[in-house]
Chain A
Amino acid sequence: MISAINIAQEALAAEQSALNTTANNVANQNTPGYTREIPSFTTQDTYLLNGYQQADGVTAGTPTSVRDRVLEQRVEQQTQVSSASSTLETALNSVQDVFGLTASSTSTTVTALGTAVDSFFSSLTGLANNPSESATRQEVLSAAGNLATAFNTASTQLTSITNGLNTDALTIVGQVNSLLGSIASLNEKIAVQDPNSDAGVLEDQRQAAITQLSQYVGLDQITTSNNGIDLTTSNAGLLVAGNLSYPLTASLVGGAVQITAGPNNTNISTGLTGGSLGGTLTALDTSIPPIVSNLDTLAYSIATAVNAQNELGVDANGNAGQALFTIGTTAPGSAGTIAVAVTDPNLVAAAGAGEGSSGNTNATLLANLVNANIAGGTTADSYLASTLAQIGEAASNATTDSTLQSTTLAQLTTQQNTLSGVSLDEEASNLTEYQRSYQAASQLFSIIDTLFASALNFGVVTSVS
């Protein structure tokens, strides 16, 4: 009888503990990173009574958090990829804006620079047709000025984007550092309180901090003894080791962001991927420099070709021609510094040598530069078109990738919330629902593919172009 009472009391206590756990779950429903705890019932020892095996009731153990590191790490990895991709997309869209490109058109004619290049060569054709008219000479100088301004403006805007990204990188490093100390401190508390089992709320807090850190930088995790997690950057820069944190340092060296990590201040700037810091560094180190370089090459090529040709001719005063553009001795920086060197329209050398100052031979040769392979082995217009196409393609790819990565992240987060979050729905029914959605989307993919193929192959004229 006493035993029966004991069993009943233990069962009641266990039920109460389970109720407390449920109440705790509901109370924390909106706490970021909170992981649902499930009550753990353990059967007490059995004993023999009157020849029958009797159970001694149940007791409630410490609640166990419903977590799985595989899923948590997938969410973190996807967060890193998605954040990097979104940052790169933003940067490349800004670059696209500099040139006035849109998602649907990368034609040179829609850009200020393309228009300026075309107008400049058109003005030279006008000069060849009317070499004696001061208005056509003035038009050449005006068009040259507009061309230089278009280069200068694009260069200034690209520099501004680069400077903004440099500042972003320094800010992000500050945000990373503010989280590292918290994670190290939580490692220490977990090692003391729960070295061999789930640490519940403390692990939730650490997980939330790691997920937040994943938005900023690509991470690798190492699970250590005493329930600890050590962290490094994606390229092995040490961030957290047990209860110690190693803040990153960031500085501008020669205009480039340099990041160091770990106790030896190792330079980890190269190869740091993931998170908004990784996306920012990719934009700074990989995406923007070729665009700046191409812009400089184009400015330098046009200026040096025009200068060389103008110096071969005779100006309206009967003197040998001189440089029309001020330009450096090498291409780097040319887009930012190109300027018109002369203000007197009579200094445009339209005539050829020995032709007299009213000739047009040199003006024709200047105008013909529009078809000459003066920039990177091709014409100025083709070179610009190719550069704009590269920018458009890079921005388009970044947008596609960012959409994909954020969609995948949204889905993983939904699934994590189902399994590890506070959910009143049954997981089984959710899985069935997921499967149903997957099948519906697969079916839609097939329908659209068929419609697409029909429109392309069978010439549905009102359909896809």
Chain B
Amino acid sequence: MITEKFKKVILDELNLEDFDIQDDTTADQVPGWDSLNHINVILAVEKAFNVHFKGIEVLKCQNIGALQNLVNSKLEQK
């Protein structure tokens, strides 16, 4: 389940007013989220939630829901 905060971080980073993000939405469906911008989104998420991802953890994410789960699991470990 995509939280409001998580969604807002992504939209702010990509300068989007609004965009419907669901668990199975993939990065390339979101306007502006291309391979170059990808890293900025990841850094923004890390900063907003004060977590640190391992490279392989992010690479394994196949959709935005998986990234949300990754954030959740990092927050639980805290």
A, B co-complexed: no
Q: B: which residues have CB within 8 A of A? A: none
